[in-house]
Amino acid sequence: MIPEFPNFIGILSKFFPKNEFFKFLFEWENIVFSLIVIAIIVLFAWLGVRKMKIIPDRRQSFFESLAEGLDEFLKSLLGGSSRKYLPFLGTLFIYILLMNLIGLIPFMKSPTASLSTTFALAIIVFIYVQFTAIKELGLWGYLDHLAGRPRGVMAMIVVFPIFMLILHLITELIRPISLSMRLRGNIWGDDILLAVLAGFGAAGFPLLLVNMVIAVLTAVIQALVFCLLSAIYFALVLKQEHN
């Protein structure tokens, strides 16, 4: 059996095995914890825009610095289009980060330790990127992009558009799989390692503390990597638009 920290939903379902509501929560626990994270984000977003001032206080300065930092990060990849995709990519980063970190709180669980959660996020990115590509390039322009933008007889012979089209389609379809498995594998692996070290008792406590710090760093890095790769997928489409 794979070791894992107990969470409050699992504990409730164990102590009240006949309770249908707790059974329902246990079956959908990843979604429940995802909704908890969403509630936290909504609360902090409300606090961030509540009673805004011309001269910001510490609370407002924190949220403005966070938004500015994400904007500068995306600007290096998307250029002038960064503001357009900041709400989506910025929210994605914060959402994934909090889902990664919530599992380090006692009796909580990281929804991103489940492949169903990370794959759903990757599918959302995939659909949005494809929608953006068709919207910005047009259907034929997007197919032209996937075919390698061949021009002239020699290009048609050397590039072999049909082969390039199939190759790029496979690449596009693989992206959500690799994106989801990378995030899930790292968070799930950290959760298992921490649970194993906790099982050693006092003997494993020093290693547990060290790996808790590493787990926090991993949570931040993996959220950043997911956001970075998503931004790159958008950048590849937008770059073609300006060519």
pLDDT tens sequence for the chain (243 residues): 677 888 999 999 999 989 999 999 999 999 999 999 999 999 988 887 777 777 777 777 888 888 888 888 888 888 878 888 999 999 999 999 999 999 999 999 999 999 999 999 999 999 999 999 888 888 877 877 776 665 555 455 555 667 777 877 888 899 999 999 999 999 999 999 898 888 888 877 888 899 999 999 999 999 999 999 999 999 888 765 444
pLDDT value for 153 = 55
Q: Specify whether the CB–CB gap between 30 and 117 falls below 8 A.
A: yes
Q: What residues contact 199, with CB distance under 8 A and at least 6 apart?
A: 3
Cα 171 versus chain centre, distance: 19
pLDDT value for 107 = 93
pLDDT value for 149 = 63
For 132, other C-beta atoms within 10 Å of its C-beta total 20
| Domain coordinates in residue numbering, the chain | 8-242
pLDDT value for 159 = 55
> What is the rounded distance in angstroms from the CA atom of residue 180 to the CA atom of residue 17?
32
Residue 107's SS3 state is: strand
Tokens of 85: 């995709």
pLDDT value for 15 = 92
pLDDT value for 156 = 53
For 108, other C-beta atoms within 10 Å of its C-beta total 17
